[in-house]
Amino acid sequence: MDNCIFCKIVEGKIPCAKIYEDELVLAFLDISPICKGHALVIPREHHQSISSVPENIAGRITHVAGRIGIAFKRALDADGFNFHLSDGACAGQVVWHAHMHVVPRGPEDGFRWNWRQLKYDSDAERNDFVEKIKSKLKT
Ligand code: AMP
Ligand code: ZN
């Protein structure tokens, strides 16, 4: 894909701090980490959305991200890690080549997700969400 920075990384046209690669995916350090070690796992194939990534490749992305999380614990003394994926501009996606963030975490790392907790107005409202989503969910 022309003008995709992550395709250029896959093709070796621009450099990256690579930590893993195989026939399906590539992993490298994020250039502006939330915490040092923060990595991105990307498919070699260009897909704008994770929803169009074939199941075997999506599975590999998740598997490799989990292995990187374990490496954070062993190599960086991390206590845990977060996965994060932005899909769509409103969700914060700025690079239009699907990618999974893996962020090493520790109790003193100074970062907190700004995670709000709404409530459904009623059981009926919650059930309405269940039915609407189920009716369009194709796997
Ligand atoms: P987002 O699309 O919001 O999930 O985030 C894209 C991420 O890609 C950001 O965290 C950027 O810091 C990161 N990023 C952008 N360009 C590069 C690059 N050349 N090498 C490594 N990370 C990058
Ligand atoms: Zn791309």
Residue nearest to atom 18 of ligand 1 (CA): 31
Handedness of CA 45, 7, 87, 67 (dihedral sign): positive
pLDDT number for residue 139: 84
Please list the pLDDT of the chain residue by residue as tens digits (139 residues).
Answer: 889 999 999 999 999 999 999 999 999 999 999 999 999 999 999 999 999 999 999 999 999 999 999 999 999 999 999 999 999 999 999 999 999 999 999 999 999 999 999 999 999 999 999 999 999 999 8
What CATH number is given to the structural domain containing 26? 3.30.428.10
The answer to whether 35 and 111 are in contact (CB under 8 A) is yes
Q: What's the domain range around 18?
A: 5-136
The domain total for the chain is 1
Q: What's 32's DSSP letter? A: S
Atom of ligand 1 nearest to the CA of 32: 12
pLDDT number for residue 2: 85
Q: What's the CA-to-centroid distance between 73 and ligand 2, angstroms?
A: 30
Catalytically active residues are 99
